[in-house]
Amino acid sequence: MEENDNWWTSPAESEDGRLIMVTGRRNVDKFRNNPRFCIRVEISWPYRGDSSGMPDEPTSVLMEAVQNALEDAFKKDPVAVLTGVFTGADERNWVFYTLSTHIFGKKVNEALAQFDLLPITIYSENDPNWEEYDEMCAAEVSFD
């Protein structure tokens, strides 16, 4: 297992009180300490969830395949790192930190070319201090 493949999952609440499962990556220091990884990119996939706001099984399976394709693309060419996955309240969000939105977009297009049209949107903003990552990590439940 690579140092950056250490994950945690904790429940959280959406603004309207619904369950969101937050999965975060530990041990991202080699990316975080590189000042070039200062752009946060969020890929969002809205879906029609069940009564709890979670995806149905076919959607969940497809989302897992998409995530695997994205992870494989950035493992081969580490121009971005997946730091968090939020699932619930009728939406899945993947959060990455990257050094270039242009290169990131190219890699995403390559990774997702095997899939039919996906209902995703992509948003990016500068986050040189990884503030969103720190906020996500506050959701981790510790059993120490």
Let me know if 41 is exposed, middle or buried by CB neighbors in 10 A (0-12, 13-18, 19+): buried
Residue 137 lies in a domain: no
Number of domains in the chain: 1
Please report the pLDDT score of residue 5 as a whole number.
Answer: 67
Q: Which two tokens stand for residue 99?
A: 């050094």
List, for residues 116-125, the tens digit of each pLDDT value: 999 999 999 9
Residue 141 lies in a domain: no
What backbone torsions phi and psi does residue 109 show, to the nearest 5 degrees? -60, -45
| Residue ranges making up the domain that contains 71 | 7-131
Under 8 Å between Cβ of 97 and 37: yes
List, for residues 94-112, the tens digit of each pLDDT value: 999 999 999 999 999 999 9
What value does the mean pLDDT of the chain take?
94
Residue 84 lies in a domain: yes
Tell me the pLDDT band of 4, cut-offs 50, 70 and 90: very low
Residue 142 lies in a domain: no
CATH code, domain carrying 124: 3.30.70
SS3 for 14?
coil
Q: Which two tokens stand for residue 96?
A: 């990455």
Does the pLDDT at position 1 exceed 50?
no
List, for residues 46-89, the tens digit of each pLDDT value: 999 999 999 999 999 999 999 999 999 999 999 999 999 999 99
Residue 1 lies in a domain: no
Residue 106 lies in a domain: yes
Per-residue burial over 51-80, b if 16 or more Cβ lie within 10 Å, else e, is eebbbeeebeebbeebbebbeebbeeeebb
Residue 68 lies in a domain: yes
Which residues, 6 or more positions from 35, have their beta carbon under 8 angstroms from its beta carbon? 128
